[in-house]
Amino acid sequence: MADSRRPRLSREAGLRAILDHFAVGDPNELLPLRELMAGLGRRAFGMLLFVAVLPAFIPIPVGGAIAGPLVMLIGVQLLALRRRPWLPQSLARRGPHRHALARFESKLGPVLRRLERVVRPRLPRLLDTRAATVFTGVLLVVLGLLLSLPIPLTNYLFGGLLLLYALALIERDGALMLVAWTGGAAAVVVFGVLSGSLALYAQSLLDRLI
């Protein structure tokens, strides 16, 4: 349940301000996704993406398998040009505990403070046009798929890249989104080539054995 004593979150608040806002209260309290996205408008996609990527940074084998499908769901909704994210009620009632966000903010805080010096609302056309939204959705679907695959040592790589998308959407920074697009496209090409090469190598090895 939302704490009525906590001040209302500004619609222009950045990621660090949002994390500080939700850090106040019982650390064991569950923060439903619908509460985390409330009042953020289109920036809610960025907040949902941020929360969706968190499992990728948990040192468990299935972290990417949890985060990947959620990232793909967000990408599909951007492809459908939805103005606000949709979640089934069973998922909207779930979310991270407050202490998980606070712990992540403490680790990410120094990086966010440095980013705040350069990240700002700019180049809105790189965020709001239909073509830009669809392109972002495509990359999120593919990156979510790659994150969900059991590729060794890639959770942090894809997770960090997806955090750029989340930050660009939350901070309304089209220039940062351009960087995220470049990194995402490069990752798709590199891992696409690698997976194709591995498939060919496995096929040749199998042919020799047969």
pLDDT tens-digit series, residues 126-177: 898 999 999 999 999 999 988 888 877 788 889 989 999 999 999 899 999 9
Q: Where is pLDDT greater, at 4 or 88? A: 88
With cut-offs at 50, 70 and 90, classify the pLDDT of residue 178. Answer: very high
With cut-offs at 50, 70 and 90, classify the pLDDT of residue 204. Answer: low
Q: If 0-12 CB within 10 Å is exposed, 13-18 middle and 19+ buried, where does residue 106 land?
A: exposed
Distance separating the N- and C-terminal Cα atoms of the chain? 62
Q: Return the pLDDT at 201.
A: 44
pTM score of the predicted model: 0.81
* Each residue's pLDDT tens digit, 65-121: 889 899 999 999 999 999 889 888 888 888 888 888 777 777 777 777 777 778 888
Q: Vertex 115, ends 113 and 120: CA angle to 5°?
A: 115
- Find which of 33-42, 44-53, 92-101 is predicted with most confidence, using mean pLDDT: 44-53
Q: Where is pLDDT greater, at 44 or 23? A: 44
Q: Return the pLDDT at 11.
A: 56
Residues 123/174, Cβ–Cβ less than 8 Å: yes
Q: Return the pLDDT at 208.
A: 57
Q: Which whole number is the average pLDDT over 4-33?
A: 71
Rounded Cα distance between 70 and 62, Å, is 13
**DSSP-derived 3-state class of residue 14:** coil
Q: Return the pLDDT at 10.
A: 55
Q: Vertex 158, ends 93 and 104: CA angle to 5°?
A: 55
Rounded Cα distance between 127 and 54, Å, is 23
